[in-house]
Amino acid sequence: MSGTKTLHWSDSSVEVHKVVVGPYDNNVFVVRCAQTGDAVLIDAANEHELLLEMCSRLGVRRVLETHGHHDHIQAVPAVREAGFDVAVTELDAPMLADVGYDSFLAHDDVIEIGRLRLHAIHNPGHTPGSISFHVEGTPLLFTGDTLFPGGPGATKFPGGNFETIIDSIDNRLFVFPAETIVLPGHGADTTIGTERPHLKEWVDRGW
């Protein structure tokens, strides 16, 4: 698969590559520094052979998990075996007990990728340790399963909480400018400006 087929968004400093994998149509992103060629992979969800090819082709150095749900971690054993560090929040690490992990992510961590800086944002609610990533100096915000087009991620699973995810979205994601591009764990991109006016509707409907 050529780089042009996976390229989803780019400017002079960053490339975002995207593939959709597995039975739940998970979005897997590679964030790549255009200057140095260093990259990270966000969510080793499934189809490990495809993801390992992307990692090799695009200069991936590390894997970042937005949360620990099973559909987002199926390729973790393969990428770890290939030598990649897999990072997850301490709160969600127990969900990776069967597949393993290598390091922890925490709120306000800054992940360096070449000349890029990714800022980690703890977004509990979908899971206790759900985390989003904002690429400094860009409109890019990777939200995992916390924020989708049309509302928050599901909170019916163990560890989920609707009030908590609403608070996470309102106070840690909706503070970004309207033009911020939301790249979720499933489905299409949206923007903060598109979603922010609907917060009260989501609260009123209760999901």
Domain, as residue range, for 157: 3-205
CATH of the domain at 93: 3.60.15.10
**pLDDT score of 71:** 98
| Among 102, 92, 57, CA closest to 72 | 92
Q: For the chain, which ranges sit under pLDDT 70?
A: 1-3
The dihedral built from the CA positions of residue 194, 197, 199 and 201, taken in this order, carries a sign that is: negative
What is the C-alpha separation between 107 and 100, in angstroms, rounded?
Answer: 21
Degrees, nearest 5: CA angle 98-165-24: 50
Sheet containing strand 190-191, strands side by side? 110-113, 116-122, 131-135, 140-144, 181-184, 190-191
- Which of 69, 115, 122 minimizes the C-alpha distance to 96? 69
Region label for 100, one of left (φ > 0), alpha (ψ between -120 and 50) or beta (otherwise):
left
The residue length of the chain stands at 207
Structural domains in the chain (count): 1
Q: Could you tell me the pTM of the whole model? A: 0.97
Which pLDDT score is estimated for 4? 73
- pLDDT for res 3: 63
DSSP string, the chain: --HHHHEEEE-SSEEEEEEEETTTTEEEEEEEETTT--EEEE---S-HHHHHHHHHHHTEEEEE-S---GGGSTTHHHHHHTT-EEEEETTTGGGGTTT---EEE-TT-EEEETTEEEEEEE-TTSSTT-EEEEETTSSEEEEETSEETTEEPP--STT--HHHHHHHIIIIITTS-TTPEEEESBS--EEHHHHGGGHHHHHHHT-
- CB neighbours (10 Å) of residue 125? 24
